[in-house]
Amino acid sequence: MIRYERFFKLEANEEKSRLMMNAFGFLMHEKEKGISGYYNLPIDGENLLKEINSYIIQEDEVYQNAENIVVIGIGGSSLGAKAIDSMLRHKYNNLKKLLFLENPDPVSISKTLNRIKKHNSIFVVISKSGGTIETTSIFKTVLKEFDMDLKSEDAKRVLIISDEGSPLCKFADFYGIKAFTIPKNVGGRFSVLSSVGIVPLSLAGYDMRNVLKGAKHMIKRFFNSKEEHIAIKALYYCKNYQKTPINVLFSYADFLEDFTKWFIQLWAESLGKIDKDGKNVGLTPVAHIGSIDQHSFLQLIMQGPRDKTVTFIKVEDFENDLKIPDISLKYIEKTDYINNHTFNELINAECDATKESLVKEGIPVDTITLDKVNEENVGELIAYFELLTSYAGAIFDINTYDQPGVEFGKKILVKKFKGN
């Protein structure tokens, strides 16, 4: 269960009601016409899980011997799986390792390659477009490092995840490598609940059925108009984007750090656009971990420019009863008030205290409280942020799903290697 609370007001008026109705209608249209396909991923997931299961049965030996599932992908092709892995890993005992080869950083690539062997790894190459330079370069490096011959049995330890008909899918077809496709109408950063996230996470051993279930319920409730808080928050953010252009996500759990990176990509790449009137619009995501960043960034929020909103994510029950021991230390007795309390109590009280202090300052704050971390809550949280992003995009009247701005740099990069 997740609770959503808002500590700021959106004064209702006719214009706002009209904007909200239009945006809701727009999202409904996107869903029904298949303009954006992520709304249906939790339903389509059942077939995908069957396909993954057939692969596991067919490649039983390779699968049983694999200790590492190595994801080769970047951006929307890696951040979602990484986020879910970080959030849920501590709840499982028998998972395969999930490793990510994302950045063309020679030090981290070498470090990861040194940790694995060919015979105990499955390499999952993920790229929606099927030609991303970082991903293909790292894949080539893996093939060379492990002396892999794709015309041999080695092909069985490679999986491709890409759009149907993409260069990578054609490559898979050529070598008879198993390929899972991504629906064409699902954009990279909205693809975590497609094969992009479901395949590597299922292979690692996660129960993805319940993640999909959590997302499905959220999307269903949203389209049944039962999650109005999403609309109100999106509208508040968009209406005030010049006054409060920075949205801080303050998550009180270390295992949420990768989730906040996934959120940053989703929010920034989807909403930073040129609108239909030629105006640059967007909202700037910033992510922090509590209580660590109370000792750094919080000062700026409290007393710096009033240009931020803050969303707290809190986990009510960490299912861990580690306590602060009842020890009184000479000269630091003033900290004894916390003795015998759990760390779970401490971190949440810190979250509440920070929230209260910001609310008192009149800073727009909302909280998202997970009763605990489990698969369903993770699925719901993902769907919540995706819907919030789509809603904000509809209010801005932009294309939420493209990213023309990043293409310019890619063209310059090609010129740097190939010349004009």
55-60-66 Cα angle (round to 5): 100
Q: Which of 295, 360, 411, 416 is catalytic?
A: 295
With CB under 6 A as the contact rule, the residue among 36, 40, 86, 127 that binds ligand PA5 is 127
Would you say 270 or 367 has its CB closer to ligand PA5?
270
Task: Say whether residue 75 binds ligand PA5 (CB under 6 A).
Answer: yes
> Which of 60-68, 70-78, 111-119, 372-380 is the region at the interface with ligand PA5 (rule: CB under 6 A)?
70-78
Would you say 191 or 294 has its CB closer to ligand PA5?
191
Establish whether 269 is a catalytic residue: yes
In angstroms, what is the minimal distance from the CB of 256 to ligand PA5? 21
Contact string 387-416 vs ligand PA5 (x = CB under 6 A): ----------------x-------------
* Residues in region 248-267 near ligand PA5 by CB under 6 A: none
> Which of 14-22, 129-137, 231-239, 361-369 is the region at the interface with ligand PA5 (rule: CB under 6 A)?
129-137
Round to whole Å and give the CA distance between 253 and 7: 21
Establish whether 229 is a catalytic residue: no
Would you say 102 or 376 has its CB closer to ligand PA5?
102
Name the nearest CA neighbour of 240 among 43, 419, 396. 396
| Token reading at 420 | 């004009």
With CB under 6 A as the contact rule, the residue among 19, 52, 69, 74 that binds ligand PA5 is 74
Task: Say whether residue 269 binds ligand PA5 (CB under 6 A).
Answer: yes
In angstroms, what is the minimal distance from the CB of 7 to ligand PA5? 31
Task: Say whether residue 199 binds ligand PA5 (CB under 6 A).
Answer: no
**Secondary structure, 3-state, the chain:** CEEEEECCCCCCCHHHHHHHHHHHHHHHHHHHCCCCCHHHHHHHHHHHHHHHHHHHHHCHHHHHHCCEEEEECCHHHCHHHHHHHHHHHHHCCCCCEEEEECCCCHHHHHHHHHHCCHHHEEEEEECCCCCCHHHHHHHHHHHHHCCCCCCCHHHHHEEEEEECCCHHHHHHHHHCCCEEEECCCCCHHHCCCCHHHHHHHHHHCCCHHHHHHHHHHHHHHHHCCCCHHHHHHHHHHHHCCCCCCEEEEEECCHHHHHHHHHHHHHHHHHHCEECCCCCEECCEEEEEECCHHHHCCHHHHHHCCCCEEEEEEEEEECCCCCECCCCCCCCCHHHHHHCCCEHHHHHHHHHHHHHHHHHHCCCCEEEEEEEECCHHHHHHHHHHHHHHHHHHHHHHCCCCCCCCHHHHHHHHHHHHHHCC
Establish whether 295 is a catalytic residue: yes
Task: Say whether residue 77 binds ligand PA5 (CB under 6 A).
Answer: yes
Task: Say whether residue 183 binds ligand PA5 (CB under 6 A).
Answer: no
With CB under 6 A as the contact rule, the residue among 36, 40, 135, 390 that binds ligand PA5 is 135
> Which of 20-28, 127-135, 292-300, 363-371 is the region at the interface with ligand PA5 (rule: CB under 6 A)?
127-135
Task: Say whether residue 285 binds ligand PA5 (CB under 6 A).
Answer: no
Would you say 74 or 230 has its CB closer to ligand PA5?
74
In angstroms, what is the minimal distance from the CB of 79 to ligand PA5? 8
The DSSP bridge pattern shows strands 2-6 and 365-372 to be: antiparallel
Task: Say whether residue 185 binds ligand PA5 (CB under 6 A).
Answer: no
Task: Say whether residue 379 binds ligand PA5 (CB under 6 A).
Answer: no
Name the nearest CA neighbour of 201 among 41, 62, 84. 84
> Which of 72-80, 311-319, 332-340, 374-382 is the region at the interface with ligand PA5 (rule: CB under 6 A)?
72-80
Would you say 269 or 380 has its CB closer to ligand PA5?
269
Would you say 265 or 357 has its CB closer to ligand PA5?
265
Residues near ligand PA5, by CB under 6 A: 74-77, 127-129, 132, 135, 187-189, 269, 403
Q: Which residues are catalytic?
A: 269, 295, 410
